[in-house]
Amino acid sequence: MKFGINTFLFTSPFTNASTRLFRKFKEWGFDAVELAIEDPSHIDPKHVRRELDRHGLVCGSVCACLGPDRDLRGTAEQQRNALKYMKALIDQMVVLDCPSLIGPVYSSVGRADAVPRAEYRKQWQTVVRHLRALAEYAGKRGRRICLEPLNRFETDFINTCDQALAMIRDVNRPALKLHLDTFHMNIEEKHLGEAIRKAGKHLAHLHACGSDRGTPGGDHTDWKSIAAALKAIRFNGCVVIESFTTDVKVIARAAAIWRRIEPTRDEIAVNGLRFLKRTLR
């Protein structure tokens, strides 16, 4: 099990210059970095890989950022944009030696609007077709895609572990895996530990943050049940702290962070990592 940090806690967008953060991440004790790459043109993956190597870190995952213009169930143009963007990320992952493309890879974040059941089924089949092609593209390059359910306020499409597993079954490609997030699970799942056990071998990535998007462990989340479930399924993926603060304005607005949840973002990283290592290992 590796422990990582998502770059959105400290910067947006992530660029070549953002690699200055790596020294601090390593000093704090992280094994991996989760790169939130908003546009592939923002980085030179060879440079980023050199900086990761120099600091003894790995790129554990690349976080797909799907805004309004990228949507696998949207307009024809939005679908093309999303496919082009995620294929470019997968190509960069090969250079970065990164195993996983993670996130809500099916639709733009924030698209949450009830549609008739027939329209939902039509959107589902469109996403199945695209994810099948993406999973094949990733698999041929030795990479995988980890699909993340989001809470009901951020998507109307896939909210629960059960829905994500249904999508994985329908896509039926070995390179498509599951990515769970404790923040979203706290809203949508009846029991977090049970959802993880149900995910089983399909779970390849975990986002860990407090129930209020703050520090893991400083909240009411049932971390003991999460730890027991991860042990039961022999989880050996990457556990990443994905919290947001008001310091990064564009992400704060996107994630509806309107107040200072913790004193500093450094404390989220340091205290959260200490707690996760103690609790999950």
Tell me the per-residue pLDDT of 140-149, one tens digit each, with 9 for 90 and over. Answer: 999 999 999 9
pLDDT score recorded for residue 146: 98
Query: Token pair of 62, please?
Result: 């690349």
pLDDT at 132 over 90: yes
Marked catalytic residue, from 148, 154, 189, 262: 148
Tell me the per-residue pLDDT of 188-228, one tens digit each, with 9 for 90 and over. Answer: 999 999 999 999 999 999 999 999 999 999 999 999 999 99
- Say how far apart CA 131 and CA 133 lie, in whole Å: 5
pLDDT score recorded for residue 17: 98
Q: What residue numbers bound the domain in which 145 lies?
A: 2-280
Burial of 167: CB neighbours in 10 Å, binned 0-12, 13-18, 19+: buried
Judge contact between 9 and 241, C-beta under 8 A. yes
pLDDT score recorded for residue 250: 85
- Say how far apart CA 80 and CA 112 lie, in whole Å: 21
The alpha-carbon radius of gyration of the chain (Å, integer) is 17
- DSSP class per residue in 38-59: S-GGG--HHHHHHHHHHTT-EE
Q: Would you say the C-alpha torsion 93, 12, 216, 265 has a positive or negative sign?
A: positive
pLDDT score recorded for residue 5: 98
Confidence category of residue 235, pLDDT binned at 50, 70, 90: very high
pLDDT score recorded for residue 249: 87
pLDDT score recorded for residue 103: 98
Residue closest to 25 by CA, chosen among 43, 5, 45:
5
pLDDT score recorded for residue 281: 87
Q: Mean pLDDT over residues 58-65, rounded?
A: 98
Number of domains in the chain: 1
Tell me the per-residue pLDDT of 34-47, one tens digit each, with 9 for 90 and over. Answer: 999 999 999 999 99
Tell me the per-residue pLDDT of 154-184, one tens digit each, with 9 for 90 and over. Answer: 999 999 999 999 999 999 999 999 999 999 9
Tell me the per-residue pLDDT of 242-265, one tens digit each, with 9 for 90 and over. Answer: 998 888 888 888 888 888 999 999
pLDDT score recorded for residue 217: 96
Marked catalytic residue, from 34, 189, 242, 262: 242
Tell me the per-residue pLDDT of 5-54, one tens digit each, with 9 for 90 and over. Answer: 999 999 999 999 999 999 999 999 999 999 999 999 999 999 999 999 99
pLDDT score recorded for residue 104: 98
Give the CATH number, domain containing residue 115: 3.20.20.150
Based on the residue annotation, tell me whether 148 is a catalytic residue of this protein.
yes
Count of other CB atoms within 10 angstroms of residue 155: 22
Tell me the per-residue pLDDT of 64-117, one tens digit each, with 9 for 90 and over. Answer: 999 999 999 999 999 999 999 999 999 999 999 999 999 999 999 999 999 999
Based on the residue annotation, tell me whether 51 is a catalytic residue of this protein.
no
